[in-house]
Structure 1
Amino acid sequence: MAKKCGISTLLLFGVYALVMYVYIFHSNSGGIPVPLKGTVVDPHVFMSERELYLSEEYSKIKNFLYFVATPFEWIVYLFILITGLSQVFEKWTTVKKQWVFLQNALYLFLLSLFIFIVLFPLDYYRYSLSKNYGISTQTFNSWMRDNVIDFWVDFGTTVVIVTVLYWLINRNPKKWWLTASLLMIPFSIFIMFIQPVLIDPLYNDFYPLANKELETKILTLAEQTNIPAEHVYEVNMGEKTNALNAYVTGIGSNSRIVLWDTTLNRLSESEILFVMAHEMGHYVEKHIYFGITKSIITTLLGLWLTAKLMLWFIARFKHILKIKQINAIHSLPLFFLITSFLLFASSPLSNYISRYLEVRADEYAIELVEDPSAAVSTFQELTKAGLNEVNPPLLVKWFRYSHPTTLERIINVTNEIESKELEGR
């Protein structure tokens, strides 16, 4: 029965991958509407022929990888269950009952290591692809170092979460999801608080912005928007990527304004000020609290659905999945599989909300710096640096774009200009 289930899953995955390949590589979705050709939104206007070719090719490959990689991870989790490997990991890590934290840590280490090894070729291909297309500038040693840090940071936080989670499941197998959801609120806020000072510096070096004149202008904007910032930080991302970014991170006394050095080197001062005004827009409009609220709601619904689905799958397929009971640690791959699926399925809604907030931040930035031309050129430069599509296919936009497309962002700017002109008449 388990073998039949495995073969059926692989066949289904093959059909799905073929459908996505045809959709991404051979459909006519996306592209620039005819009335907008030759305008500032047309990539033929602001990108070279080589950039256009690389953008189209690179975007198709990375989008296809996204749509097949996540279901492939589900197959890995399913493989761990139906082969009994999860039970084997549990037996290998059996310790005295009072040392449950140690057992969970040992089990999770074996599970994480196995998944890391299985998915490593796919991760390495993504890295190689990004490097071949000129997005990544990172050496293999540096990339591996980041992967190892990722492994241990994820491992440490997951051990804590899983230990608490299974303790709650043991205490109340039917209502554990509610208490777990409530406990995730302070835990998430704590992670947001320590990330800028403890986690982020593990990957990169942060230091005060060297350009003090630019820092003064950024802090003046921050003062206008009541952001409690005394310094602007830059981070040495040029060692790893040619992409551009800036952000306001952290909460409370640990909040930071951060600029990538690639952004500083590639964008003009007016473009940098627009980018920073956009990030400040998120702060002023309390988008961090929108994010926290969304996280609370999605966690509550997600864990509730996960609890229901785990009980249903175990009741119906426990012999195939080789799960004896929900409170056994070897059921963890099923938990990961279901939560991963729910996150994937809910990403269109999550991205829709995120895109709305990004539009609001764009509108705030345009009002604050009063330089629409800087906004347009910024969006063009971001597109060129990341080899992004100006108007991606609909499914790609739904599942992948947490920001509006370049087409939408530039149209929003031009609409804003036109409305201002009408008001002035």
Structure 2
Amino acid sequence: MARKIGFYGVILYCLYGLLFYWYLFYFADTSLSFEYEGTRADPATFLNGRELMLSEEYSKVRNLLFFLSTPFEWLFYLFILLLGLSNAFKKWAEQSAKYKFVQRAIYLIWLSFFAFIATLPLSYISYSLSKSYNISTQTFGGWMKDELIDFWVNYGTLLIIVTVLYWIINKSRKRWWLYAWLLSIPFTLFMMFLQPVVIDPLYNDFYPLKNKELEAKILALADKAHIPAEHVYEVNMSEKTNALNAYVNGIGSNSRIVLWDTTLNRLDEQEILFIMAHEMGHYVEKHIYFGIAGYLLLSLVGLYITGRMMEIIISRWGKELKVPAVNDIRSLPLLLMIISMLMFISSPLSNFVSRYEEARADHYAIKLTKDTDAAIKTFQELTRAGKSQVNPPLLVKIFRYGHPTMLERISSLEEYGLKNHLKKHE
């Protein structure tokens, strides 16, 4: 039975991969409808022929890698269970230590190491792809360093979560999902508080914005929007990428406005101010807190479904998976596989909400700056720098895009500019 499960798992994964390859390379239509041709949203008006070709090529391969990587993770966890590796990890842990916490730490380091090795080829292909299309500027050593930081940050976080989670499951087999969710609330808020000052600096150097004249204008814009901001930070992303970005993260006293140095180098002052106004829109409309609330609601539903599915799967196929009970640490790969599946399935909903919030932030930014031309040029430059598709395929938009497409963003700005122009001449 275990062989059958593994065989069908591989066959389904291959069929899934072929289906998405056919969809992305042969079926999906990314051309613009006639009403957008010749407008400022038409990439042919701001990209040359080579840039258009490279954007299409890069986007297709990158999107295929995205759709292949998540189900590959499920297949990996399935084979960890079917081949008895989860069982072996537990035995090695029990032979190496007598304390439960140390045993779990050893089990988890083995599982994390195997996951790292299994997923490294796909990660390297993604890195190599971005290098070949001149998006990544990072050396192999720098990329490998970030991968190792990721490994240890994820391991440390997962060790805390797993230790507490299995303690809860052993205390309450029926309601562990509820107690785990209740504990996840302060943990999530604590991690968001730590992110800007502890985790992010592990990857990059952050420092106050060097251009004090620009900082004064950004802070004046923040004051106009009634935002209590004191400092704007820049980060040295040019060592790693040619892409552009800016964001606000953290909560409470640790919240930060951050600009990539690539953004500062590539955009003019008015375009930077538009990006900052967009980020301020998120603050004014409290999107961070709505995002936290949405995440916690989804995680409550997700943990409940995970608990129910684990009971059903272990009762029916526990022997084949070599997992005797939910509260056994050997069930961890199954738990991680189910959570990953649920996150993938729920991503269209979370992306839809995110796109709505991003559109609201765009609307707020243009009302605050009243500079349609700078806003449109910003999105055109973001498209060029990231080699992104202006009009991506529908499934790509649904599963990958937390922002409106560039077609939607630029065309809505053109519409806003036209309405404003007509109002002035009435």
- Determine if the TM-score, normalized by the shorter chain, exceeds 0.5: yes
2:117 counterpart of 1:86 = no
Counterpart of 2:308?
308
Deviation of 1:29 after TM superposition, in Å, equals 2.2
**Aligned AA for 1:283?**
Y
CA–CA distance in structure 2, aligned partners of residues 176 and 263 of structure 1: 45
Confirm or deny: 8 A CA contact 2:40 2:411 kept in the other structure.
Answer: no
Confirm or deny: 8 A CA contact 1:82 1:320 kept in the other structure.
Answer: yes
Q: Percent identity?
A: 59
2:206 counterpart of 1:230 = no
**TM score, norm. by length of structure 2:** 0.98
Confirm or deny: 8 A CA contact 1:93 1:106 kept in the other structure.
Answer: yes
CA–CA distance in structure 1, aligned partners of residues 8 and 139 of structure 2: 40
Structure 1 segment 61-140 matched on structure 2, within 5 A: 61-94=61-94, 99-140=99-140
User: RMSD of the alignment, in Å?
Assistant: 1.2
Confirm or deny: 8 A CA contact 2:41 2:406 kept in the other structure.
Answer: yes
Q: Secondary structure at the match of 1:94?
A: helix
Q: Which moved more, 1:114-123 or 1:89-98?
A: 89-98
**Aligned AA for 2:164?**
V
Counterpart of 1:289?
289
CA deviation map 1:62-81 (0-9, x unaligned): 10111111111110000000
**Aligned AA for 2:289?**
Y
Counterpart of 2:337?
337
Deviation of 1:160 after TM superposition, in Å, equals 0.4
CA–CA distance in structure 2, aligned partners of residues 95 and 12 of structure 1: 37
Confirm or deny: 8 A CA contact 1:31 1:390 kept in the other structure.
Answer: no
**Aligned pairs, how many?**
425
**Aligned AA for 1:419?**
K
CA–CA distance in structure 2, aligned partners of residues 215 and 409 of structure 1: 26
Structure 1 segment 25-424 matched on structure 2, within 5 A: 25-94=25-94, 99-424=99-424
CA–CA distance in structure 2, aligned partners of residues 180 and 334 of structure 1: 17
CA deviation map 1:74-105 (0-9, x unaligned): 10000000111001001100169982221111
Which residues of structure 2 form unaligned runs of 5+?
none
Q: Secondary structure at the match of 2:99?
A: helix
Structure 1 segment 2-41 matched on structure 2, within 5 A: 2-41=2-41
Deviation of 1:420 after TM superposition, in Å, equals 2.7
Q: Secondary structure at the match of 1:222?
A: helix
Deviation of 1:179 after TM superposition, in Å, equals 0.9
CA deviation map 1:361-384 (0-9, x unaligned): 000000111101111111111111
Confirm or deny: 8 A CA contact 1:235 1:258 kept in the other structure.
Answer: yes
CA–CA distance in structure 2, aligned partners of residues 285 and 98 of structure 1: 52
Confirm or deny: 8 A CA contact 2:234 2:260 kept in the other structure.
Answer: yes
**Aligned AA for 1:159?**
L
Which residues of structure 1 form unaligned runs of 5+?
none
Q: Which moved more, 1:92-101 or 1:144-153?
A: 92-101
Confirm or deny: 8 A CA contact 1:30 1:394 kept in the other structure.
Answer: no
Q: Secondary structure at the match of 1:228?
A: coil
Deviation of 1:423 after TM superposition, in Å, equals 4.1
Q: Secondary structure at the match of 1:390?
A: coil
